Structure 1
Amino acid sequence: MATLLLLRHAKAEPGSGPDERRPLSGTGRDQAGRVAEHLRNRRPDVVLCSAAVRTQQTWQRLAYGLADHGIEVAGIEVVVLESLYRASPRAVLAAVSEYGGDAGVVLVVGHEPIMSMTAAALAGPGSREAGTHVVAAGLSTASLAVIEVDSPWHEVDSGHARLVEVLHTPA
């Protein structure tokens, strides 16, 4: 069984320029580092990260947090993709299919509403009802949807996975 982690970026500064250039706020930097608590037993093998500044900063702070917990991050494959900014759930799944390979855990660092839409689309039989309600309402900043997948990454499709948990990181 493989695990797909869908993470909404941490809290960003208010916009005053191109949206994709917005950095994390001070609160967001702290929040991103604390996401590592949720991944202590789910070290990603592959990270797919939107090209937006705030998503890349979220991953960087998360990686520091993992390292602080003694988790090796040097071997994690990180792929920054323009296609994940303003993506559709189908585009997220295409990226996972292309880059997932034989990874046991894939982490996607992206944006709303795409992260919650992707989680909702994948949630099939066996998904936790409470989790499906949360993703239907949308993921707050630095929230993580944990999805279990029984098929190879290239076969993952809507309704064929289990949403097992939604983890929040308070601001």
Structure 2
Amino acid sequence: MRSLLILRHGEAGHSFSGDDHARTLTSHGEQQARQVGSWLRDSGLVPDATICSDAMRTRQTCIWVNEQLGEKAPTAYLDDRLYLAAPRQVLSVINETPETVQSLLVVAHMPGVQEVSMELASVYSEEDPVIRMAGSWPTAGVAHLQFDKPWAELDGRDARLVAFQVPGS
């Protein structure tokens, strides 16, 4: 069974220069990312690989998550296609994952993270996490989906949502 972890970046500050791509995490966002890393570690969900948007706030989220994962943390692969990507673009990036990877963490942005997760969640998903995920996706929210097909064939309604974790909840 493969695991797909889809994470929205931690809380970011405002851009006074107008450069959204360069926005950084707030101290609260750093704390959120650490909490996600602790949850992943404590749940035994340390990913084999991480794909991260190249925006500053997602890169910083990866740094703080990985700090909690320790030595087992994979080096994040930065992919500019994830920056403010539509759900089909996010899925396209996921579909390129090598078959040797059993667990993938994707760190990206709203609304793409929510929309692709809803698109992938099958009818066999846990009801409560689906309802919470559909209602709102706070910063540093992470969806955990499981499936048993190749990454390249992941398309829609073919992954079981087993958890939706939000720091502090």
- Name the TM tier (shorter chain): over 0.9
Structure 1 unaligned regions, length at least 5: none
Q: Aligned ranges for residues 107-146 of structure 1 at < 5 Å?
A: 107-146=105-144
Identify the residue that residue 147 of structure 2 maps to in structure 1.
Answer: 149
TM-score normalized by the length of structure 2? 0.93
Q: Distance in 2 between matches of 1:100 and 1:30?
A: 31
Determine if contact 1:119/1:145 at 8 Å carries over to the other structure.
yes
Q: Aligned ranges for residues 1-171 of structure 1 at < 5 Å?
A: 1-16=1-16, 17-40=18-41, 41-67=44-70, 71-73=71-73, 76-170=74-168
What is the alpha-carbon root mean square deviation over aligned residues?
1.4
Percent identity of the aligned residues? 34
Q: Distance in 2 between matches of 1:8 and 1:127?
A: 20
Number of positions where the alignment pairs a residue of Structure 1 with one of Structure 2: 166
TM-score normalized by the length of structure 1? 0.92
Secondary structure of the equivalent of 2:129?
helix
Secondary structure of the equivalent of 2:93?
helix
Q: Distance in 2 between matches of 1:169 and 1:35?
A: 6
Q: Distance in 2 between matches of 1:142 and 1:90?
A: 21
Structure 2 unaligned regions, length at least 5: none
Q: Deviations over 1:11-66 (max 9, x none)?
A: 11123221111000011112111111221101111101001100000000111111
